[in-house]
Amino acid sequence: MLFSHDEYQEYQSRIAKVKKSMEEKGIEVLLVTNPSNMNYLTGYDGWSFYVDQMVAVIIDEDEPLWIGRYQDANGAKATVWLDHNNIIPYPDEYVQSQTRHPMDFIADFLTQIGQAKRKIGVELESYYFTALAYERLKAKLPDATFKDGSLLVNYVRIIKSEMEIDYMKKAATIVEKAMQTAVNSIHVGARQCDAIASIYYDLITGTSEYGGDYPAIVPLMPTGENTSAPHLTWSDQPFKDNDMVIIEIAGCFKRYHAPLARTVSLGKPSEKVTDLSKVVVEGLNHALDAVKPGNTCEDIEAAWRKVISKHGIEKEARLGYSMGLSYPPDWGEHTASIRKGDKTILKPNMTFHLIPALWFENYGIEISESFRVTDQGVEVLTNYTRELIVKGDFDFEEPVIS
Amino acid sequence: MLFSHDEYQEYQSRIAKVKKSMEEKGIEVLLVTNPSNMNYLTGYDGWSFYVDQMVAVIIDEDEPLWIGRYQDANGAKATVWLDHNNIIPYPDEYVQSQTRHPMDFIADFLTQIGQAKRKIGVELESYYFTALAYERLKAKLPDATFKDGSLLVNYVRIIKSEMEIDYMKKAATIVEKAMQTAVNSIHVGARQCDAIASIYYDLITGTSEYGGDYPAIVPLMPTGENTSAPHLTWSDQPFKDNDMVIIEIAGCFKRYHAPLARTVSLGKPSEKVTDLSKVVVEGLNHALDAVKPGNTCEDIEAAWRKVISKHGIEKEARLGYSMGLSYPPDWGEHTASIRKGDKTILKPNMTFHLIPALWFENYGIEISESFRVTDQGVEVLTNYTRELIVKGDFDFEEPVIS
pLDDT average, residue stretch B346-365: 96
- Amino acid present at A90: Y
Does residue A46 sit at the B interface (CB-CB below 8 Å)?
Answer: yes
Q: Please give, rounded to a whole number of angstroms, the shortest distance from the CA of B126 to a CA of chain A.
A: 6
- Amino acid present at B223: T
Element (H, E) at B322: strand B320-323
Minimum Cα–Cα distance from B360: chain A residue: A74
| CA distances in angstroms from B343 to A9, B283, B297, B375, listed in the order given | 51, 20, 6, 19
SS3 B290: coil
Q: For the residues of B101-140, what is the DSSP string, one character each?
A: -HHHHHHHHHHHTT-TTSEEEE-TT-TTSBHHHHHHHHHH
- Amino acid present at A1: M
The CATH number of residue B333's host domain is 3.90.230.10
What pLDDT score was predicted for residue B17?
Answer: 98
Cβ-nearest to A200 among B200, B226, B337: B200
Q: What does DSSP say about strands B244-253 and B256-266: parallel, antiparallel, or unpaired?
A: antiparallel
In a mutational test of the B interface, the residue from A232, A244, A296, A301 whose CB has the highest number of chain B CBs within 10 Å is A232
Cβ-nearest to B211 among A191, A206, A359: A191
For residue B222, the chain A residues in CB contact (below 8 A) are: 75
Q: For the residues of A110-151, what is the DSSP string, one character each?
A: HHHTT-TTSEEEE-TT-TTSBHHHHHHHHHH-TTSEEEE-TT
Measured from the Cβ of residue B117, the count of other Cβ atoms closer than 10 Å reads 14
Q: Domain check: are A240 and A384 in the same one?
A: yes
pLDDT average, residue stretch B340-359: 97
A131/B131 CB distance under 8 A: yes
Percent of chain A past pLDDT 70, that is, above it, reads: 98
SS3 A156: helix
What pLDDT score was predicted for residue A186?
Answer: 98
Q: Please give, rounded to a whole number of angstroms, the shortest distance from the CA of A327 to a CA of chain B.
A: 10
Does residue A50 sit at the B interface (CB-CB below 8 Å)?
Answer: yes
Report ipTM for this prediction. 0.96
pLDDT average, residue stretch B53-70: 98
Cα angle A364, A220, A267; round to 5: 50
For residue A93, the chain B residues in CB contact (below 8 A) are: 339, 341
Given A157, A173, A188, the domain boundary residue is A157
- pLDDT > 70? residue B395: no
Q: Domain check: are B167 and B98 in the same one?
A: no
| CA distances in angstroms from B289 to B286, B302, B320, B378, B380, listed in the order given | 5, 11, 15, 8, 11
Q: For the residues of B86-105, what is the DSSP string, one character each?
A: GEEEE-GGGTT-SS--HHHH
ω before A329 within 30° of 0 (cis)? yes
Q: Please give, rounded to a whole number of angstroms, the shortest distance from the CA of A395 to a CA of chain B.
A: 33
* A92 phi-psi bin (left φ>0, alpha ψ -120 to 50, beta other): alpha
Q: Contact B134/A125 with Cβ under 8 angstroms?
A: no
Alpha-carbon torsion A106, A111, A115, A116, what sign? Answer: positive
Q: What does DSSP say about strands B119-122 and B145-148: parallel, antiparallel, or unpaired?
A: parallel
Q: What does DSSP say about strands A145-148 and A119-122: parallel, antiparallel, or unpaired?
A: parallel
- pLDDT > 90? residue B392: no
Q: Domain check: are B169 and B49 in the same one?
A: no
For residue A102, the chain B residues in CB contact (below 8 A) are: none
What pLDDT score was predicted for residue B402?
Answer: 47
For residue B192, the chain A residues in CB contact (below 8 A) are: 211
**B43 DSSP assignment:** -
Element (H, E) at A29: strand A29-32
Cβ-nearest to B124 among A92, A132, A214: A132
B337/A79 CB distance under 8 A: no
What is the per-residue burial (b if ≥16 Cβ within 10 Å, else e) of B195-227? bbbbbbbbbbbbeeebbbbbbbbbbbbbbbbbb
Measure CA B398 to chain center. Answer: 33
Cα angle B212, B87, A219; round to 5: 30
Q: Domain check: are B368 and B382 in the same one?
A: yes
pLDDT tens across A344-365, in order?
A: 999 999 999 999 999 998 999 9
Cβ-nearest to A124 among B45, B79, B130: B130
Kindly list the strands in the beta sheet with B369-373, ordered across the sheet, starting from the edge strand earlier in the chain: B332-338, B320-323, B351-354, B369-373, B378-380
Query: Which structural domain range is residue B375 located in?
Result: 162-391
Residues in Cβ contact with B2 at an 8 Å cutoff, skipping those fewer than 6 apart: none
pLDDT tens across A223-238, in order?
A: 999 999 999 999 999 9
Count of pairs with CB atoms under 8 A, one residue in A, one in B? 234
SS3 A86: helix
pLDDT average, residue stretch A313-335: 96
Alpha-carbon torsion B326, B330, B331, B332, what sign? Answer: negative
pLDDT average, residue stretch B316-332: 97
Cβ-nearest to A204 among B122, B200, B220: B200
| CA distances in angstroms from A370 to A105, A171, A329, B330, listed in the order given | 42, 11, 18, 29
- Residue at A400 is within a domain: no
- pLDDT > 50? residue B289: yes
The CATH number of residue A82's host domain is 3.40.350.10
What pLDDT score was predicted for residue B98?
Answer: 87
A276: nearest Cα among A339, A384, A366: A366
A215: nearest Cα among B183, B77, B35, B47: B47
According to DSSP, the residues that pair with A370 across neighbouring strands are: A353
Spatial separation of the C-alpha atoms in residues B164 and B254, rounded to whole Å: 9
- Residue at A287 is within a domain: yes
End-to-end CA distance of chain B: 46
Spatial separation of the C-alpha atoms in residues B212 and B279, rounded to whole Å: 33
Cβ-nearest to B126 among A130, A316, A334: A130
B163: nearest Cα among B254, B37, B46, B258: B254
Q: Domain check: are A122 and A224 in the same one?
A: no
- pLDDT > 50? residue B363: yes
Q: Domain check: are A150 and A169 in the same one?
A: no
ω before B329 within 30° of 0 (cis)? yes
| Mean pLDDT, all residues of chain B | 96
Q: Contact A199/A219 with Cβ under 8 angstroms?
A: yes
Does residue A130 sit at the B interface (CB-CB below 8 Å)?
Answer: yes
**B344 DSSP assignment:** P
Alpha helices by DSSP H, A146-270: 152-157, 162-185, 192-205
Given A157, A174, A202, the domain boundary residue is A157
Q: Contact B146/B230 with Cβ under 8 angstroms?
A: no
Spatial separation of the C-alpha atoms in residues B370 and B179, rounded to whole Å: 14
Q: Domain check: are A227 and A127 in the same one?
A: no
For residue B173, the chain A residues in CB contact (below 8 A) are: none
Cβ-nearest to A218 among B47, B191, B192: B47
pLDDT tens across B106-152, in order?
A: 999 999 999 999 999 999 999 999 999 999 999 999 999 999 999 99
Q: Domain check: are A235 and A378 in the same one?
A: yes
Cβ-nearest to A229 among B78, B135, B206: B78
A59: nearest Cα among A109, A120, A103: A120
pLDDT average, residue stretch A331-348: 98
- Residue at A172 is within a domain: yes
Q: Please give, rounded to a whole number of angstroms, the shortest distance from the CA of A361 to a CA of chain B.
A: 8
pLDDT average, residue stretch B73-79: 97
CA dihedral B82, B160, B51, A21 (to 10 degrees): 160
- Amino acid present at A149: G
SS3 A165: helix
Between residues 358 and 387 of chain B, which touch chain A (CB distance below 8 Å)? 359, 361
What pLDDT score was predicted for residue B353?
Answer: 98
Q: Contact B370/B379 with Cβ under 8 angstroms?
A: no
Cβ-nearest to A130 among B129, B203, B222: B129
Cβ-nearest to A232 among B75, B196, B218: B75
Q: Domain check: are A135 and A187 in the same one?
A: no
- pLDDT > 60? residue A397: no
Q: Domain check: are B335 and B192 in the same one?
A: yes
Q: Domain check: are A111 and A257 in the same one?
A: no
Given A138, A157, A176, the domain boundary residue is A157
Does residue B71 sit at the A interface (CB-CB below 8 Å)?
Answer: yes
Q: Contact B71/B91 with Cβ under 8 angstroms?
A: no
pLDDT tens across A255-308, in order?
A: 999 999 999 999 999 999 999 999 999 999 999 999 999 999 999 999 999 999
- Residue at B398 is within a domain: no
**A224 DSSP assignment:** G
Does residue B201 sit at the A interface (CB-CB below 8 Å)?
Answer: yes
- pLDDT > 90? residue B201: yes
- Residue at B397 is within a domain: no
**Radius of gyration for the alpha carbons in chain A, expressed in angstroms and rounded:** 23
Spatial separation of the C-alpha atoms in residues B205 and B212, rounded to whole Å: 6
A201/B200 CB distance under 8 A: yes
- Residue at B396 is within a domain: no
Q: Domain check: are B320 and B199 in the same one?
A: yes
Spatial separation of the C-alpha atoms in residues A39 and A277, rounded to whole Å: 38
Residues in Cβ contact with A44 at an 8 Å cutoff, skipping those fewer than 6 apart: A35, A38, A55, A66, A75, A76, A79, A80
Does residue B197 sit at the A interface (CB-CB below 8 Å)?
Answer: yes
| CA distances in angstroms from A335 to A32, A262, A322, listed in the order given | 16, 25, 6
Q: Please give, rounded to a whole number of angstroms, the shortest distance from the CA of B79 to a CA of chain A.
A: 9
What pLDDT score was predicted for residue A379?
Answer: 98
Percent composition of chain A: helix, strand, coil (DSSP 3-state, to 5): 35, 20, 40
Q: Please give, rounded to a whole number of angstroms, the shortest distance from the CA of B222 to a CA of chain A.
A: 9
Minimum Cα–Cα distance from B220: chain A residue: A47
B230: nearest Cα among B133, B363, B66: B363
For residue B228, the chain A residues in CB contact (below 8 A) are: 74
- Residue at B20 is within a domain: yes
B236/A211 CB distance under 8 A: yes
Residues in Cβ contact with B348 at an 8 Å cutoff, skipping those fewer than 6 apart: B159, B293, B373, B374, B375
What pLDDT score was predicted for residue A402?
Answer: 46
Q: Contact B389/B183 with Cβ under 8 angstroms?
A: yes
| Mean pLDDT, all residues of chain A | 96
- pLDDT > 60? residue A369: yes
Does residue B133 sit at the A interface (CB-CB below 8 Å)?
Answer: yes
Does residue B139 sit at the A interface (CB-CB below 8 Å)?
Answer: no
B361/A329 CB distance under 8 A: no
B359/A71 CB distance under 8 A: yes
Residue B35, classified by CB atoms within 10 Å of its CB into exposed (0-12), middle (13-18) or buried (19+), is: buried
Total of domains in chain B: 2
What pLDDT score was predicted for residue A396?
Answer: 53
Minimum Cα–Cα distance from B35: chain A residue: A329
What pLDDT score was predicted for residue A46?
Answer: 98
Does residue A91 sit at the B interface (CB-CB below 8 Å)?
Answer: yes
B192/A211 CB distance under 8 A: yes
- Residue at A399 is within a domain: no
Cβ-nearest to B231 among A72, A131, A318: A72
pLDDT average, residue stretch A318-327: 98
Q: What's the pLDDT band for A398 if we cut at 50, 70, 90?
A: low
pLDDT tens across A18-64, in order?
A: 999 999 999 999 999 999 999 999 999 999 999 999 999 999 999 99
